[in-house]
Amino acid sequence: MTSSLLASLSSLAPYLFSLLAFLALLEQVSYIIKKRSLPGPPLVLPFLGSAARLVAAPTAFWDRQSRLAASSPLGISANYVVGRFILFIRDTELCHRVFANVRPDAFHLVGHPFGKKLFGEHNLIYMMGQDHKDLRRRIAPNFTPRALSTYTSLQQIIILKHLKRWVHLSSPPAAAGETPKAIALRLLARDMNLETSQTVFAGPYLSQKARERFNVDYNLFNVGLMKLPFDLPGSAFRKARLAVDRLVETLAGCAGKSKERMERGEEPCCLIDFWMQETAREVGAAREAEEAPPPHSGDQEIGGHLFDFLFAAQDASTSSLLWAVTLLDSHPQVLAKVRDEVAGIWSPESDALITGEQLREMKYTEAVAREVVRYRAPATMVPHIAGEEFPLTDTYTVPKGTIVFPSVFESSFQGFTEPDRFDPDRFSEERREDQIHKRNFLAFGAGAHQCVGQRYALNHLMLFIAMFVMLIDFRRDRTDGCDDITYVPTICPKDDCRVFLSMRCARFPELSLH
């Protein structure tokens, strides 16, 4: 039986080989037709394309796409990854053209090349038209000045908690007999931001046990983001997908508890409460009228959207914090100006939280935060898929199904005065380059899907900078290439931002919500 089976397979082998060769040839022809005269690999590896190169060395892969795009008069380059034709766009105006045409018959925002397999089909980033507008209207109460003020208090308490731990790790007490050592901040900052996001977004609705499980699942999700989308048992991608399901389920439970609390008329204490205030009122009114609940009010759907927020806030924020430390260390004159400004507004010895009004007074610190985001845009690209053919220029039409990567990173180095220089003064009242070159400042996106939480993100970065420079003395553990860019999946310094830390203040402040 076995010998006859092997003989049958052996006789089929030439036909199978011919079929694979024919499919590979069709793939090459399709790629060449789609690519046309754009710069990119002349031929691609069958079925996988440049996938191995992308996974093994993403920084080098995207640097090459950038150089190729810069060599093209259109500012576009092409490649091929796991059966997908891709375009990299560095030209600012073409990036805007993509952002402005997110609709069913043009581009679909996907956030990640294989995002729908990870996030599911119905999350905020995939919504369009009136449905998307209605949901953003519901989200608006999450980012009012009152809500943001509530968040800043929570953010500071968590930042302080983690800064104390970082100092202890780098400079343990003399009695411990250990010498000061450099510590890598990337994972520490990620943990701080995850706790911040959990507390700001879900507040009291996450138990300690739920937070611990949450942390494990979020780590599985992060690992899966950087892997190929092979949804097989035991694969990192499958683990990531299942982890997202559990995370959304947990956040859906938080939404339900918040609704109950808001229905009782209690004061909101976290983001989901500000969101559920009006939603709970509308759900109650529909219940009394014996009508169907309003759209976008189901716990499971809200849990999915909360996960979107957490994903957007988590890795991008970690990236910005690491680059802030890196750039302040390498620009001591900027660091001195930040310290002078913050010292004139807030004193750690006061044991008082930085208020929203005080934060708004920190104009130079905000300029530093904005320049960090411009100079090292955390989410360097915003993937979209062409739902239909789209005439991107007079001479090039994007084929249907193409994954398009508008580069907000490349745009940030166009238009601005000496764009390759880290210069917070460009955002001063005198120079106002954020307004003059507004179209090039795309770190928070543009169009209908522009980041709704950008003020929250800037506040978090400003609070971290203000507290970090006032409470801590720091210096980088400098090695060759330590500040080179690496993808994890947002960008961070190659050495994970290794620093020596020590206390700068006489004592850490005692901060509390009351």
What are 209-242's pLDDT values in tens digits?
Answer: 888 888 888 888 777 776 766 777 878 888 888 8
Please give the structure tokens belonging to residue 285.
């009114």
Q: Which among 273, 269, 268 is positioned nearest to 256, based on CA atoms?
A: 273
Beta bridge partners of 86: 79, 403
CA dihedral 245, 247, 248, 253 (to 10 degrees): 130
How confident is the model at residue 453, as a pLDDT?
86
263 burial type by CB count under 10 A (0-12 exposed, 13-18 middle, 19+ buried): middle
Residue 463 has pLDDT above 90, yes or no: yes
What would you measure as the largest C-alpha separation in the chain, in angstroms? Answer: 87
**What does the buried/exposed string (b/e) look like for 27-56 if buried means 16 or more CB atoms within 10 Å of the residue's CB?**
bbeebeebbeebbbbeebeeeebbbebbee
- Return the sign of the alpha-carbon dihedral for residues 217, 218, 223, 229: positive
pLDDT tens string 388-417? 999 999 999 999 999 999 999 999 999 999
* CB-based contact 225:119 (threshold 8 Å): no
Check pLDDT > 80 for residue 21: no
- Bridge partners for 403 per DSSP: 86, 385
Q: What b/e string do you get for 112-128 counting C-beta neighbours within 10 Å, with b at 16 or more?
A: bbbbbbbbeeebbbbbb
Provide the percentage of residues in the chain whose pLDDT is more than 90: 58
The two structure tokens encoding residue 76: 């576009």
| pLDDT per residue as tens digits for the range 61-88 | 999 999 999 999 999 999 999 889 999 9
Is 335 in contact with 368 (CB distance < 8 Å)?
Answer: no
Q: Which residues of 396-424 are buried (b: 16+ CB within 10 A; e: fewer)?
A: bebbeebbbbbbbbbbbbbebeebeebbb
7: pLDDT strictly greater than 70? no
Model pLDDT for residues 163-197, shown as the tens digit of each residue: 999 999 999 876 566 788 999 999 999 999 989 99
85: helix, strand or coil: strand
Give the pair of three-digit tokens for residue 319.
Answer: 């990236």
Considering the chain, what percentage of its residues have pLDDT values greater than 70? 93
- The confidence band for 288, taking pLDDT boundaries of 50, 70 and 90, is confident
Which pLDDT belongs to residue 176?
A: 62
The reported pTM is: 0.89
- CB 267: neighbour CB atoms within 10 A? 9
- Quickly count: other Cβ atoms within 10 Å of residue 26's Cβ: 10
Distances (CA, A) of 510 to 150, 351, 507: 18, 5, 9
Q: pLDDT at position 113, please?
A: 61
Pairing assessment for the beta strands 183-184 and 498-503 based on DSSP bridges: antiparallel
**Which residues make Cβ contacts (< 8 Å) with residue 239, sequence separation at least 6?**
220, 223, 224
Domains of the chain: 91-503 (1.10.630.10)
Per-residue pLDDT, 115: 64
Token pair, residue 13, equals: 């082998």
Q: Which residue in 462, 473, 433 sits closest to 368, CA to CA? A: 462
**Whole-number average pLDDT of the chain:** 89
Question: Residue 9 has what pLDDT?
Answer: 56
